[in-house]
Structure 1
Amino acid sequence: MTSIHTPERFHALIPAAGSGSRMGHEQPKQYIDLLGRPVIRHTIDALLGVSALASVWVVLSPEDEHWDQFVWPADPRLKVLRVGGPSRAASVANGLARIVESASADSWVLVHDAARACISSAQVSAMIETLADDPVGGLLAMPVADTLKRIGADGRVAQTIPRAGLWQAQTPQMFRIGMLRAALAAHPDVTDEAGAIEAIGLKPRLIESDATNFKLTFPQDLAMAARLLGSQVKENA
């Protein structure tokens, strides 16, 4: 069994080339102020707090005009790539093509949403510990608690979806770099990395998470994230 402390074995990638239009803000949501810092800074800080990660790569749009307006951690593990594409899958694929220039294809990459700012270093470390020797990899997720309804064209309920066995996918999603590159090349239209891995016939492992690891999507999410992050600061004080 290989030690999780083997240098250069684990890397993180944050796709941050999107605009987050549903947030209804003039700035991309990763740069919106959250407790005095841009949303993505909280995400970056949490990942840099994971000692097993050899690098944390942020994939930006080539046209990004916001990144240079902020002060970022001086940690040498933080690296920026301006190779973002028109979709999440494209941004991740472009980022992986650069990471593999300095990391083994057998190394692990943890792809994490820029807007999941409430992730904790402890959650990520536990995930790495669990999946370090897994043959496929996996993702954080949580069991669906609410009854799900499928809407019809008339705006009315068309179907009730049984929630038994349903899980809500989160990030990080952790797979070997070479495997994920091949999966995304074969299936570029997926909405998450696990979907690409599933499409090549493999079964990612689900690591149970909770609702605190939510993705900031709508304006009201900012207040919830502020409360969660504020409580974490108080607990660590």
Structure 2
Amino acid sequence: MPLILAVAPPPNVHVRYHALIPSAGTGTRAGTAGPKQYEKLAGRLLVQHTLEAFTRLGRIASVLVVVAPGDERMPTGPGWRVSACGGATRAASVANGLAELKAQGAGDDDWVLVHDAARCLVTPGQIDRLIDACGADAVGGLLAQPLADTLKQEEGGRVAQTLPRERKWLAQTPQMFRLALLQRALAQAGDAVTDEASAIEAIGLKPLLVAGSAQNFKVTWPEDFALAEAVIRSRTR
């Protein structure tokens, strides 16, 4: 597999920041009747909380939401566009979204911040922190949290061994990489990767880890909805 080098553009090249929100999944683990991004949280759709964090940032040039073909439930708004180009996997949805961004005028050197639709508690401040940390980096990076819990490896429903937690981080989103670099990395890595950083790592590059927040969790399980709603309501008091 040929090595892809990450090279920052010359300082006089103007680059923009685009948000890409893959939202084509069904969220089967959440126990909801339909896709979890359309569940109500504090009176609004879960995905609307996600989108608000990005549309409040003036430095984000565009926000693209990728939904499954035929999905007409995604709300429209003045700050984002919706494209029904979702694929069978997250990697396919992101790859299709990158192609759509490029077709709409995004440049190869522009930054793309890929963010899980179900991470509805991300804040503009956290997004700003990622941009500030990675904007001058040749590779890019991601929000993440150092692992705080003891980590167990399972075998047959029982603990097989305890793994050291030192230098281990929980990957979050956004994950921020240049458009053309991420396109090439995903094309080489294929659909098996579960996040963009994994594709970048697979071509020999090392994404930057930027401290995120424990509140930036992905709504995955049924009990996560009540926790997310409590956090949202605590922010509006």
Question: Following superposition of structure 1 onto structure 2, how do residues 1-237 of structure 1 map, counting pairs within 5 Å?
Answer: 2=11, 9-67=16-74, 70=75, 72-75=76-79, 78-101=80-103, 102-153=105-156, 155-188=157-190, 189-234=192-237
Shift of 1:65: 3.7
Among the aligned pairs, what percent are the same residue? 51
3-state SS of paired residue (1:125): helix
Shift of 1:229: 1.0
Amino acid at match of 2:60: L
For 2:131 and 2:33, how far apart are their aligned partners in 1? Answer: 36
For 1:214 and 1:226, how far apart are their aligned partners in 2? Answer: 12
Uncovered stretches (5+) of structure 1, i.e. residues with no partner? none
Q: How many residues align?
A: 226
| More moved, 222-231 vs 108-117 | 222-231
Cα RMSD of the aligned pairs, angstroms, is 1.5
Change (3 A) 1:2 1:229: farther
Shift of 1:2: 5.0
| More moved, 107-116 vs 120-129 | 120-129
User: TM-score, length-normalised on structure 2?
Assistant: 0.92
Structure 1 stretches of 4+ moved >3 Å: none
Uncovered stretches (5+) of structure 2, i.e. residues with no partner? 1-9
Amino acid at match of 1:81: S
For 2:77 and 2:71, how far apart are their aligned partners in 1? Answer: 19
For 1:23 and 1:65, how far apart are their aligned partners in 2? Answer: 21
3-state SS of paired residue (1:141): strand
Any idea what the Cα deviations from partners look like across 1:142-194, whole Å, max 9, x if unmatched? 000000111112x2111111000100000000000000000000001211000
For 1:54 and 1:66, how far apart are their aligned partners in 2? Answer: 24
User: TM-score, length-normalised on structure 1?
Assistant: 0.92
Any idea what the Cα deviations from partners look like across 1:64-93, whole Å, max 9, x if unmatched? 1422xx4x4323xx1111000000000000
For 2:43 and 2:78, how far apart are their aligned partners in 1? Answer: 18
Amino acid at match of 2:196: E
Shift of 1:130: 1.3
3-state SS of paired residue (2:220): coil
Shift of 1:63: 2.2
Amino acid at match of 1:73: G
